[in-house]
Amino acid sequence: METEFRTVEGPVLRMVVVGSGAMGLEWMRAVLASDETELAGVVDTEVKRARWSVIRTRAGEVPVAESLDALLRTPQIGRVDGVVNVTPPDAHFPVTARALGAGLPVLGEKPMAASLEEAEELVVLARDARQLFMVAQSRTYEPHLSSLRAHVRAIGPPAVIVVNFLRDEAFDGFRTEMAHPLLVDMMVHTVDAVRYLTGKQATHVYCEEYGPSWSRYSSGGSATCVFEMDGGGRFVYNGSWSAPGDMTSWDGEWRVSGAHGSALWDGEGPPVRLSPSAPEHVVLPEPSRSGDGIRGVLADFIRALRTGRTPWGECSNNLGTLAMVHAAIDSARTGRRVRVPNPPGLSSVVPDPRRGEHI
């Protein structure tokens, strides 16, 4: 089911950022840097932090408040065209639901919600409000990922996709205390990228979570998952937040193998293809559009609001990503191989994040 949403007119869209932590600052800077947006206000449960974020980003006279409702009641707020939700995962549902209820489109940080049930409800709310709700899967906009997809198409349907994500990160804040931090906060990016590369959904998964003795995380800082993809291929994810030494890139290290060869990507440079008929490394041309992380996501959100064209990360499509993540969580909890659910609101139309095409 593809959500139909209202478009927005006007040369500049006025955006409210909810959440002024480290990522909130980055989103504020992205909104301020764009010629198509301006910062209308900042919300944080700690108003002092919101005020400090305005000072740090040199945003000028921007109103702040402790809640979205309070900000929308502020006399100087003026017109609001959209909301960027950069709160911790547990707050994603109430903030997004309130914004949609106020008739505002939402660009929300991943994951879409803390549970699949909450995510399904948000899809219904967005549909009923006829508002765009887009999830900011920024790493799917990495410039070399479209080149990797071209390699994958050349080698045929993938039989196996293996991704290693191994880093040693001294996070503070909610990540160290949240449940399943690697799966919810990081693997979600890789799952989304696999769906983009293949146009396929997983059917089953087996996952084990663990934590070495030196882990800073209360639970689930490391995990290995084996997904069975539609059509029979396998996607293997091996990740850890507690792997000191020679760390992988933030996008991980990839190997994709099909009937006509393999594609390799180190997560930083251009991918390469290994073929039995051409064993040398073959590098495809650079993608036609460079990725800009969250700025690229913001540009796609604005483009969607102006044209009505469904963007990558639209909520009914992103349900597929969240369904795979939560199936992995269920498997880790039960110690069993589990079926990946097919949420009733999941869109069968998968938009291309770079060209507005469907794959």
Domains of the chain with bracketed CATH: 13-139+293-313 (3.40.50.720), 143-282 (3.30.360.10)
Task: Residue count of the chain, please give it.
Answer: 359
The H or E element that residue 253 is part of is strand 253-258
What is the model's pTM?
0.89
pLDDT digits (tens, 9 = 90+) for 29-65: 999 999 999 999 999 999 999 999 999 999 999 999 9
Average pLDDT, the chain: 89
**What are the CA-CA distances from residue 222 to residues 167, 192, 195, 274, 342 (Å)?**
10, 19, 22, 30, 26
Contact 267, 252 (CB under 8 A): yes
Kindly report whether the peptide bond that precedes residue 111 is cis, defined as omega within 30 degrees of 0: yes
In terms of Cα–Cα distance, which of 30, 32, 128, 17 is closest to 82? 17
In terms of Cα–Cα distance, which of 115, 183, 130 is closest to 319? 115
* Measured distance CA(85)–CA(136) in Å, rounded: 10
pLDDT of residue 291: 57
pLDDT of residue 167: 94
pLDDT digits (tens, 9 = 90+) for 219-263: 778 999 999 999 999 999 999 988 999 999 999 999 999 999 999
The conformational region for residue 182 under phi > 0 = left, psi -120 to 50 = alpha, else beta, is alpha
pLDDT digits (tens, 9 = 90+) for 132-183: 999 999 888 888 998 899 888 889 889 999 999 999 987 766 666 678 889 9
Does the pLDDT value for residue 2 go beyond 50?
no
Q: How many CA atoms lie within 13 A of 316 on its CB side?
A: 23
For residue 85, which phi and psi values (nearest 5 degrees)? -95, 105
Contact 227, 241 (CB under 8 A): no
Long-range interactions of 273-280: CB distance < 8 A, separation 24+: 273/151, 273/154, 273/155, 275/155
Per mean pLDDT, which range of 30-34, 129-133, 184-188 is the poorest?
A: 184-188
pLDDT of residue 10: 83
pLDDT of residue 220: 77
The conformational region for residue 120 under phi > 0 = left, psi -120 to 50 = alpha, else beta, is alpha
The H or E element that residue 82 is part of is strand 82-85
pLDDT of residue 11: 87
* Measured distance CA(254)–CA(242) in Å, rounded: 19
Q: What is the pairing mode between strands 234-240 and 160-166?
A: parallel
